Structure 1
Amino acid sequence: MEQTLVLLKPDSVERKLIGKIIQRFENKNFNITNLKMITMNRELAEKHYEEHRGRDYFDKIVSFMCSGRIVAMVIEGEGVIKSVRKMVGKTNPLEAEAGTIRGDYGYTTPANLIHSSDSEESAKREINLFF
C-alpha cells in the first residue's frame, strides 16, 4: 500500500485547522498510520527542504517551519501520493482551486498550510526523517 508524508505547517496549527484538514483525508478513506505534533528544529527543517537549498526562499521556509508546532502524519492508501497532492492544491494558495485545502483555507506563502510528498522516493525519504 502506498504511503505519503503530510505536514500541517505552523499556520494550520495556529489557525486550528488540524481537524478540518485531517477530516478531508479520512473522508477519502485514507488511513493515517502515524501522527505526531512536534516543533521542528533547524537541522530537521534543513534536511527536509534540502533539495531547495540555495534557492532564494530556502531560509524563509526553514525559519517558518521552525516557528511553531507542526503535525506530521503518514497517510496510506491506493494512489495516495497523487490524490493527496490534488487535495492539497497549488503551492500558491492564491492560485489553488476552490475545493482544495490551500484554495479553501490558504492565503500566502510560505504559510501555505500543508506539505505533502511529491513522489514515492520523496515519501520514503521524508517519512524516515519524521518517523
Structure 2
Amino acid sequence: RPEVSVFQINSPSPEVVCHATGFFPKAVMITWQKDGEDVHEDVVELRETLPNQDGSFQKRSILKVPAEELQKHTYTCGVQHSSLEKELVREVPKDSSAVHLIVIMVIGAVVGMFLCVLIFKYQQTHRGAEAEDNE
C-alpha cells in the first residue's frame, strides 16, 4: 500500500513533488488536478519508478507551475495502485506563509536592533559633543 506525501521545493522556480513509496507491485499511476480538472502534461515531470531496499517501489511526479498559480488554485495529487480500494488524493498546501512570517519577523528584528544601535551611538556622540560645548 503506497504512502503519499506532497511537498514544495523552491529551487530556481517552485516545484511541487508528489512522492509515492512503499507499494508493490511496481505499476502505479500518479496524476495532478487543478480545481478538479486534469493538469496538462507539459507542466508535469514524471520520474521513473525506483526500487526500495525492502522490495517495494517508489515514484515521484513533479508539478512545475508559478507560485501565484499555487496560491490561486487548488492542486491535488492522486495516486492509483492495485493495493488501494480507491485513489489516494493529497492536496498541495496553499502557502508556506508560516515560514514567510518567521523570515519577515527575523528580518524586522535585525533591522530594529540595527536601528537601536545607530540611535544609541548617535545619542552617545551627540551628548559628548554637547558636554564639550558647555565647558
Whether the TM-score (by the shorter chain) exceeds 0.5 is no
TM-score when normalising by structure 2 = 0.25
Name which structure has the greater RCO, CA cutoff 8 Å, separation 6+. Answer: 1
